[in-house]
Structure 1
């Protein structure tokens, strides 16, 4: 009698092919660079707007060497504030440059600097260099983008007609509502950045929005449009899929950003799905697909493990 395992006697069923719920486009090096530069431009302007007393109090700075840009903050251990924004994006990076960046963060007392890589990062062995120095892959975000193709005239994410009292309303942040918007973001992230955030309201290139339900702020998102027409969407709270279970409010904000951004002359929009899924399905992918975004690639994040981790 055969002693084959039961699993070996079962017919082999090929895995069902899954169709992603967003258009995926294999971008080339030039498009990848344009996508990453849109974010870098936003952060350069964001740091330029930081009040000098706030920056001094928190050891906040941004530095650049040619096209390479990195941030430092000695008091706030937030990924965006201690990271190399674009290593290997605009040209190959060397091991000596990587070591100099790591030395900078060590000297500044930063225990967990972050490095971003994508499929076009040069050289391809950069990931090996990071791991050889003790940094580990710790997730990443889906980079998505769209051009200035107009959206349909009808709202893509209308409110619920059955609950008009609680119908969400999207407002652009003004000087009168800046403190309310900044306090909401700081409350969600437990950060002390309100003086910095309010300095961005009314600043050229920046468009900030908050969604209210019943008069209370429920979500926020911003758009920065650089002189070249490249727009970066961020400063979002709460992050859907991570800080909030619902993706609907963020989708409404995203629609407003795209519509207003096109009207303001944006030619490229760049955003992230910060809770990526392996099959690239779920509400974030569906919503951004409806907004005309395409998925370019997964941007991977590297850093040291937390000190308490095994």
Structure 2
């Protein structure tokens, strides 16, 4: 009997199934649109707050055509500032629309514009159009969301009992502490955005938080609540899993945001896991699951490779 025949007689071991560390739900196209619109609303409001002289110096702008929104910045090659926020979200994209956007970025001297795609963007062949024009997928972020279900009264991420209570403190940013918050973000990302960031402090709908250790800022995260009660969480630093190895501080900030957001009337919370893992396991997924978030989908990011950017 051949060796191959013997191998066929071996018992078949079924593959082990992996249970993700976060609840996953198949969202509808309408909910997907609501999720994407929540972030777009936050960026539209943030750009409306940008000081005119700062925007002029940086070549910073946001534009829209109907529901379609895109950003441009000539001096800061940062994904958020040179991207099409929602192509194919509120209606089917067209090749003519895509080509016009690419022409806009070429004319502005932007070599690597970014386009977002998720399982609900229309048409489904949008990714093929992007790839046909030389773009490739460069990672993506997990889109997560939750409703306004209250959290338990007991803290979900209590501070280490070995650390004094006054050693680790989450506080909301005020005009008095705005420069500390903005400077921390700019230092972490190597950006010149402090004049813009400080303009968001005290602005209607915006809530910014810092976590301090022994008085020094260690982590930050913001929440924007729109008039419709849809809340976007972002402007976070350091990004856990990318800029920092620990997820604990961001989890504490996330809990404060959810509690305060619910108290302020938020009905839908939208956030991202920016260091996705294939098995959807790890501390980011576990922490957001404890906070009541569910995973909607992976939003893929498309752009040119640096060598092909011309």
Question: Contact 2:167–2:215 (CA<8 Å) still a contact in 1?
Answer: no
1:32-181 equivalences under 5 Å are 32-164=32-164, 167-181=167-181
Question: Contact 2:54–2:195 (CA<8 Å) still a contact in 1?
Answer: yes
Number of residue-to-residue matches in the alignment = 309
Whole-angstrom distance in 2 between the partners of 1:41 and 1:7: 59
What is the aligned partner in structure 2 of residue 285 from structure 1?
Answer: 285
Deviations 1:144-170 (A, max 9, x none): 000011101111101011121674210
Question: Contact 1:22–1:294 (CA<8 Å) still a contact in 2?
Answer: yes
RMSD, matched Cα: 1.6
Deviations 1:219-254 (A, max 9, x none): 000000001000000000000000000000000000
Deviations 1:177-208 (A, max 9, x none): 00000000001100010000000000000000
Whole-angstrom distance in 2 between the partners of 1:129 and 1:17: 35
Whole-angstrom distance in 1 between the partners of 2:193 and 2:305: 25
Local SS of the residue matching 1:97: helix
What is the aligned partner in structure 2 of residue 245 from structure 1?
Answer: 245
Q: Which runs of 4+ in 1 moved over 3 A?
A: 3-12
State the shift of 1:2 in Å: 2.5
Question: Contact 1:165–1:214 (CA<8 Å) still a contact in 2?
Answer: no
State the shift of 1:308 in Å: 8.5
State the shift of 1:10 in Å: 5.4
Question: Contact 1:73–1:82 (CA<8 Å) still a contact in 2?
Answer: yes
What is the aligned partner in structure 2 of residue 258 from structure 1?
Answer: 258
Can you give the 5+ residue segments of structure 2 that lack an aligned partner in the other structure? none
Local SS of the residue matching 2:187: helix
Can you give the 5+ residue segments of structure 1 that lack an aligned partner in the other structure? none
Whole-angstrom distance in 2 between the partners of 1:308 and 1:217: 39
Q: TM-score, normalised by structure 2?
A: 0.97
State the shift of 1:307 in Å: 2.6
State the shift of 1:138 in Å: 0.7
Whole-angstrom distance in 2 between the partners of 1:33 and 1:222: 22
What is the aligned partner in structure 2 of residue 297 from structure 1?
Answer: 297
